[in-house]
């Protein structure tokens, strides 16, 4: 609309310029000569005829040879020159042109027209602003119909259980008679719950392509405005628009932005958010006939939603969208690799097995990072090494090429990572070592990467104990070899302490605490963790929890020290391999540890005296 208006203004301006040029261009035919030369040519008898303009004293004429000319004469025309023209028998014509309408009125009207145009423009602009103010309470939902199917369930890899539940809603909207014959009532609301990147919005877009009914998509933040009551008005307009369409699907993304618990948090509630939520609850209650309208919402924070929003009759069904399993990750990788030039040496099944815990968005990013690396190295296809690089970058961070470690820091880092690697190789319950490197990556000076052989959903106590021992490996290796500890074990200690605390406080893995569990502290903004409500156990119990956490960590430290002392030859061989090659894969680490176990005696001499490292990070 704005571009069209400016095009009209530009066209009008161009027309005015063209008219002015046409009016003022005059008759410029022939050569321009001076008046004195004109008299000379007349005196020589070379002029055949002339035309004299009584208004502008302009003279146009033609020579005997047919050439045209023009000049500016005198006003009034001199008598002597007239006699000369008569003497030479020059045909003389006089003209008095009349001014055109534009020449007469355009100079007078152009300024008032510009003023009128300016006031018209300002009036329309004010009306547009007033229209925006009057439409502030209208819904901002985007409507999709069957002519724009977009994504379908065929584009959603895996998640067959989720698609089955969502497809039931789609079938109800397409074929309601099948459900009405048996008396079944479709849920009014379906809540998609899952971590960020698991594909909740993608599944909702697939519903738009499969439903065959209008699909209204809106984000939770679209309801919020600085004026109280605007959100509630937009909710009413959204449902009224859906009712006019008959059967329809309403999708609200990030519903937790308006569906949080009412009256919670510091300083009381939020009037605008609470009024918006109240209006949504009323619309979903069915005070008016809303048959054929299904609401789908997505969130990654179901714990913050108001209980009234989740009760039956509103969001009757909650569909969990979990992290993909191995087969689902393989299907997702195939979808994203479909448009890529993949080398035959790439086995996507191996890539899927090496990416446990990754969401669909992270897998898409993994494939894209592999493609970018292939372009940077000048390759024509994405190879297995590109996927390996991409996985290392996603899991461990970008390699810091500019960081140069001193020989002492490199040796300390090598033994630190060797301690992790040896502990993970020897312990039965620990995840196998995939790769060890002393190249600085991300925020770490070295990384030991472990990958489980299969997806795990629950963890026994032995696995957790062994994981803490592996985390202690770097610190204990430094202590055994150099007699000092460095700051490199900071993250290891944080992870170990948090895991041990959960074992005691949440998972009931302490004999002194017994079968009791206390969850983590609630979020302050929800009003669940204020002042005296920070914990629901006594000071004596807190002391016992601290003692049990310390007991688990001390026991893991002792186990790790005994283990690395027993496998000191393997520790030295792995550290020497890291110093020589900088990176070792899991199979090489296992070979070195097994080789050292069959060859008693020190593999390399330890440093003669302890030293104090500067800074090192894990």
pLDDT for the residue numbered 68: 84
Burial class (CB in 10 A: 0-12, 13-18, 19+), 413: buried
Asked if 38 and 48 touch (Cβ cutoff 8 Å), the reply is no
Asked if 321 and 216 touch (Cβ cutoff 8 Å), the reply is no
Residue 116 to residue 1: CA distance in whole angstroms: 21
Residue intervals of the chain classified under CATH 3.30.720.210 are: 25-97
Is pLDDT larger for residue 560 or for residue 537? 560
CATH topology of domain 142-320: Rossmann fold (3.40.50)
pLDDT at position 301 over 90: no
Residue 387 to residue 379: CA distance in whole angstroms: 13
pLDDT for the residue numbered 535: 64
Asked if 551 and 497 touch (Cβ cutoff 8 Å), the reply is no
Beta-bridge partners for 545: none
Ranking 54-58, 122-126, 468-472, 592-596 by mean pLDDT, the lowest is 122-126
Asked if 521 and 534 touch (Cβ cutoff 8 Å), the reply is yes
Burial class (CB in 10 A: 0-12, 13-18, 19+), 289: exposed
CA-based nearest residue to 59, from 87, 88, 91:
91
Is pLDDT larger for residue 597 or for residue 191? 191
Q: Please, what is the average pLDDT of the chain?
A: 75
Asked if 235 and 223 touch (Cβ cutoff 8 Å), the reply is yes
CA-based nearest residue to 496, from 513, 512, 476, 479:
476
Residue 248 DSSP one-character state: E
70, containing H or E segment: strand 68-72
Ranking 160-164, 191-195, 364-368, 410-414 by mean pLDDT, the lowest is 160-164
Q: Name the 3-class secondary structure at 505.
A: helix
Angle between helix axes 539-566 and 461-482 (nearest 10 degrees) is: 60
Residue intervals of the chain classified under CATH 3.40.50.300 are: 142-320
Alpha carbon of residue 33 to chain centroid: 73
Q: Name the 3-class secondary structure at 141.
A: coil
In tens, the pLDDT along 373-399 reads 888 888 888 888 888 888 877 776 666
pLDDT for the residue numbered 608: 35
pLDDT for the residue numbered 551: 92
Asked if 209 and 154 touch (Cβ cutoff 8 Å), the reply is no
Q: Residues with Cβ < 8 Å from 16, sequence gap 6 or more?
A: 106, 110
pLDDT for the residue numbered 526: 46
Residue 87 to residue 90: CA distance in whole angstroms: 8
Place of tokens 């014959």: 181
Band of the pLDDT at 604, cuts 50, 70, 90?
very low
Q: What angle do CA 382, 385, 387 make, to 5 degrees?
A: 65
Residue 260 DSSP one-character state: B
DSSP output for 272-338: HHHHHHHHHHHHHHTSS--TTEEEEEEES-GGGB-HHHHSTTTS-EEEE-----HHHHHHHHHHHHT
Asked if 297 and 255 touch (Cβ cutoff 8 Å), the reply is yes
CA-based nearest residue to 430, from 465, 473, 474, 396:
465
Using a cut of 0.75, tell me whether the model's pTM lies above it.
no
β-pairing, 142-144 vs 58-63, is: unpaired
Residue 481 to residue 414: CA distance in whole angstroms: 11
CA-based nearest residue to 256, from 180, 200, 206:
200
Residue intervals of the chain classified under CATH 1.10.8.60 are: 326-396
- Rounded to whole angstroms, what are the CA distances from 68 to 28, 50, 97, 129, 379? 10, 10, 20, 61, 74
Residue 599 to residue 263: CA distance in whole angstroms: 69
β-pairing, 215-219 vs 142-144, is: antiparallel
DSSP output for 413-456: HHHHHHHHHHHHHH-SSSPPEEEEE-S-BTTBS-EEEE--SS--
Work out the average pLDDT over 200-221: 76
In tens, the pLDDT along 538-569 reads 888 889 999 999 999 999 999 999 999 988 88
- φ, ψ for residue 149, nearest 5 deg: -70, -35
Question: Is-catalytic flag, 417?
Answer: yes
Q: Name the 3-class secondary structure at 405.
A: coil
Place of tokens 């534009």: 102
Asked if 461 and 555 touch (Cβ cutoff 8 Å), the reply is no
| Catalytic site residue from 41, 362, 411, 417 | 417
CA-based nearest residue to 432, from 453, 463, 460:
453
Question: According to the per-residue pLDDT averaged within each range, which of 236-245, 452-461, 500-509 is highest?
Answer: 500-509
Matching CATH number, 407-597, of 3.40.1080.10, 1.10.260.40, 1.20.58.760, 3.90.79.10 = 1.20.58.760
Residue intervals of the chain classified under CATH 1.20.58.760 are: 407-597
Rg (CA), the chain: 42
Work out the average pLDDT over 458-463: 86
CATH architecture group of domain 25-97: 2-Layer Sandwich (3.30)
Band of the pLDDT at 331, cuts 50, 70, 90?
confident
Asked if 309 and 281 touch (Cβ cutoff 8 Å), the reply is yes
Residue 102 to residue 16: CA distance in whole angstroms: 10
CATH topology of domain 326-396: Helicase, Ruva Protein; domain 3 (1.10.8)
Q: Which two tokens stand for residue 259?
A: 């569906």
């Amino acid at each position: 609309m704005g571009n069209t208006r400016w095009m009209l203004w530009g066209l009008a301006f161009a027309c005015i310029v063209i008219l002015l040029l046409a009016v003022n261009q005059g008759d410029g035919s022939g050569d321009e000569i001076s008046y004195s030369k004109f008299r000379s040519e007349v005196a020589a008898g070379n002029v055949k005829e002339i035309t004299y303009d009584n208004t502008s004293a302009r003279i146009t004429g033609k020579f005997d040879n047919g050439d045209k000319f023009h000049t500016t004469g005198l006003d009034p025309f001199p008598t002597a020159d007239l006699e000369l023209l008569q003497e030479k028998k020059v045909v003389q014509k006089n003209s008095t042109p009349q001014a055109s309408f534009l020449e007469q009125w355009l100079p007078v009207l152009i300024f008032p027209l510009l003023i009128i145009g300016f006031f018209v423009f300002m009036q329309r602009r004010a009306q547009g602003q007033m229209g925006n103010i009057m439409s502030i309470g209208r819904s901002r939902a985007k409507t999709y119909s069957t002519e724009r199917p977009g994504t379908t369930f065929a584009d959603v890899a895996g998640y067959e259980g989720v698609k089955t539940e969502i497809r039931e809603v789609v079938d109800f909207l397409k074929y309601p008679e099948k459900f009405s014959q048996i008396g079944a009532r479709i849920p009014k609301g379906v809540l998609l719950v899952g971590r960020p990147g698991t594909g909740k919005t993608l599944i909702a877009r697939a519903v738009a392509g499969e439903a065959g009914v209008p699909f209204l998509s809106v984000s939770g933040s679209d309801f919020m405005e600085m004026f109280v009551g605007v959100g509630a008005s937009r909710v009413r307009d959204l449902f009224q628009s859906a009712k006019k369409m008959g059967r329809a699907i309403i999708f609200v993304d990030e519903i937790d932005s308006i569906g949080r618990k009412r009256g919670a948090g510091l300083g009381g509630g939020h009037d605008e958010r609470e009024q918006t939520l109240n209006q949504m609850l009323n619309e979903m209650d069915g005070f008016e006939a809303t048959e054929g309208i299904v609401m789908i919402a997505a969130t990654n924070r179901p714990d913050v939603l108001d209980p009234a929003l989740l009760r039956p009759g509103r969001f009757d069904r909650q569909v969990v969208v979990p992290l993909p399993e191995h087969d689902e990750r393989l299907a997702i990788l195939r979808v994203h690799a479909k448009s890529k030039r993949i080398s035959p040496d790439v086995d996507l099944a191996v890539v899927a097995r090496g990416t446990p815990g990754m969401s669909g968005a992270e897998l898409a990013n993994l494939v894209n990072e592999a493609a970018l690396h292939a372009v940077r190295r000048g390759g024509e296809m994405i190879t297995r090494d590109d996927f390996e690089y991409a996985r290392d970058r996603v899991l461990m961070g970008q390699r810091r090429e500019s960081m140069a470690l001193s020989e002492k820091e490199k040796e300390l880092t090598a033994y630190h990572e060797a301690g992790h690697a040896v502990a993970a190789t020897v312990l039965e319950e620990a995840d196998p070592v995939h790769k060890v490197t002393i190249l600085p990556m991300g925020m770490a000076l070295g990384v030991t990467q472990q990958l489980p052989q299969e997806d795990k959903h629950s963890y026994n106590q032995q696995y957790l104990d062994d994981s803490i021992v592996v985390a202690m490996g770097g610190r204990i290796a430094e202590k055994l070899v150099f007699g000092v500890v460095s700051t490199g074990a900071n993250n290891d200690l944080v992870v170990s302490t948090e895991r041990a605390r959960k074992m005691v406080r949440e998972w009931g893995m302490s004999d002194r605490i017994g079968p009791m569990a206390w969850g983590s502290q609630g979020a302050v903004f929800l009003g669940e963790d204020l002042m005296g409500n920070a914990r629901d156990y006594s000071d004596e119990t807190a002391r016992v929890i601290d003692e049990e956490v310390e007991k688990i960590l001390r026991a893991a430290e002792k186990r790790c020290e005994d283990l690395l002392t027993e496998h000191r030859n393997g520790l030295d061989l792995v550290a020497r391999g890291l110093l020589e090659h900088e990176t070792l894969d899991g199979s090489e680490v296992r070979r070195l540890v097994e080789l050292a176990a069959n060859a008693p005696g020190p593999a390399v001499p330890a440093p003669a005296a302890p030293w104090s490292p500067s800074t090192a990070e894990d």
